[in-house]
Structure 1
């Protein structure tokens, strides 16, 4: 049913043996609106399926209840109740809906990409960005979709085209509103680089800080992130490592931290293994951190390291 109403996907669930769900689809001319209520579900639109069949649709998803996660257009997103997200059938999409102890209710608005009254490809900048359905144009669209699906039994066939037009207009208004607030990262590389550097410096203590996490936090692709650092002659990973080393080096010679063990200083800057920290420190500065601390802080007992 999902493949027929949306696009071909690989779908499975840990509750496949006792899978109880409902899927209702409203055909509103070229626009379709579907309401799904289901237990935990995994859905994958793979490159192979895209090559086999691509209806070239946009899908605006509204989470009525529960939560979901998605990976799409080089971004990861978590959706909670009241959130909206745009995706396209033309790119791989991996979705995980609900958790072991909950169900999820979602409404999907699917429409041909060519019908969106915006410059061609402009909406692609908004793929997998979270929109709130609790304020502004988001709540207007969310309330409309709630009523549209709840009262579908009262509509006549002649209403379908008009309702489809209204649905598309509201979706387009929401997307246009967010496009007005979004300029391509390439148009302001210095400002983007500044935001990224600030974000990284504030999260250096997190050993799980990765390029993908950084890109997701700034709503850009991994390719764009790497281009930002290429302009500075560095890789993302190398820049993060150097910032961590610089911070640890300052702390090693800080008299106020003379009693703090070296492994604790390393951990505070995101180095989870003391041996790895010692190795990279020696490679970068030509001496182990204990010797560097001894040279920079007179009277330091290096046995504390």
Structure 2
């Protein structure tokens, strides 16, 4: 689905009903704005990025009766606050939370202000092997675990894969969700090590600008031992510390090419010492930070002159 941007409740109702399942929308905002973009991962799995202002989105019994669906949806909340109500329970949504809901029963999603989230959508049948009833799983925040963190990072990072890759990614997401729902022990990684490693790399890349980010903190964040983390990275011939440094250097190079000063690029990339940053940069790119900045400034000047 192509990205959709709307400026009215009626448009948002049509967009959400087309992307997810038939829904109704209410809002008290005088000027409503929202957008979504969806990626289909094979015939059954969808991942949708949603951004909206204050609203209530709900699916009532009349819609269920007239337009039945068997989809399960998982809100992976990124920004703002909200709540999901289903089966006489209410789960709060905040940054980093994940909540499941079921299109076969009435539910309501309420957002008091601006929000953004990633929604994973898949058929009920993909989770039937878990042995759980959906009435007991919905409108309950999914417990934090290495599997959930991997699921969230993978879902949030998906762009538009090729046809041959899309179904494979969809299967990986379903596998991670099954592991989350089973509630396996979070002290050890229960997923495919390659999937867990990819989720960890994505999280590191997103947080590499934090100067306090260390392998020990990464391991603690994913509820695994530092030795386990090192083994995951060793399969690719690198170490967690080297990968953190590489992410910081790539970030700094982008900042320098955009015109940031050497000290600013170092600071905004998580380096506390400029001399150490400069040495690491030269080893990685065979260029000095100042030369990359000069090239970027020069290119920007050429573009401005051409305009």
So what's the TM-score if we normalise by structure 1?
0.52
Structure 2: where are the runs of 5+ without partners?
1-14, 187-307
Partner of 1:167: 173
**Pair 1:20-2:30 in alignment:** no
Tell me which of 102, 118, 139 is aligned to 1:107: 118
Q: Deviations over 1:153-212 (max 9, x none)?
A: 4x21222111111111111111111699xxxxxxxxxxxxxxxxxxxxxxxxxxxxxxxx
Instruction: Report the CA distance between 1:117 and its aligned residue.
Output: 5.0
Matched, 1:57 2:95: no
Q: Which residue of 2 aligns with 1:71?
A: 85
Query: Map of 1:187-266 to 2, 5 A cutoff?
Result: none
Q: Aligned equivalents of 1:44 and 1:115: distance in 2?
A: 24
Tell me by how many angstroms 1:132 deviates.
4.5
Residue 178 and residue 70 in structure 1: after superposition, are their counterparts in 2 closer, same or farther (change >3 A)? Answer: farther
SS in 2 for 1:118: helix
Q: CA deviation at 1:121?
A: 5.1
Deviations 1:274-304 (A, max 9, x none): xxxxxxxxxxxxxxxxxxxxxxxxxxxxxxx
Once superposed, which parts of structure 1, at least 4 consecutive aligned residues long, lie more than 4 Å away?
none
Alignment of 1:275-286 (within 5 A): none
| Cα 1:24–1:171 shift into 2, 3 Å | same
The question of 1:144 aligning with 2:157 is answered: no
Please report the TM-score for the alignment, with normalisation by the length of structure 2: 0.52
Q: Which has the larger radius of gyration?
A: 1
CA contact (8 A) 1:57 1:110 kept: yes
SS at match of 1:78: strand
Relative contact order higher in (CA < 8 Å, ≥ 6 apart): 1
Matched-pair contact (CA < 8 Å) for 2:130–2:181: no
Contact 1:132 1:139 in 2 (8 A): no
Aligned residues: 171
Q: CA RMSD of the aligned region, Å?
A: 2.1
Match of 1:236 in 2: none
> Structure 1 residues 124, 118: CA separation in 2 closer, same or farther (over 3 Å shift)?
farther
Tell me what 2:191 maps to. none
Distance 1:24 1:108 in 2: 10
Distance 2:72 2:24 in 1: 18
Q: For each residue in 1:253-292, what CA deviation from the matched residue of structure 2 results, as whole angstroms up to 9, or x when unmatched?
A: xxxxxxxxxxxxxxxxxxxxxxxxxxxxxxxxxxxxxxxx
- Which residues of structure 1 form unaligned runs of 5+? 181-305
Do the aligned partners of residues 132 and 81 (structure 1) sit closer, same or farther apart at CA in structure 2, a change above 3 Å counting? Answer: farther
For residues 140 and 185 of structure 2, the distance between their equivalents in structure 1, rounded to whole angstroms, comes to 11
How far does residue 122 in structure 1 lie from its aligned partner after superposition? 3.0
SS at 1:37 equivalent: strand
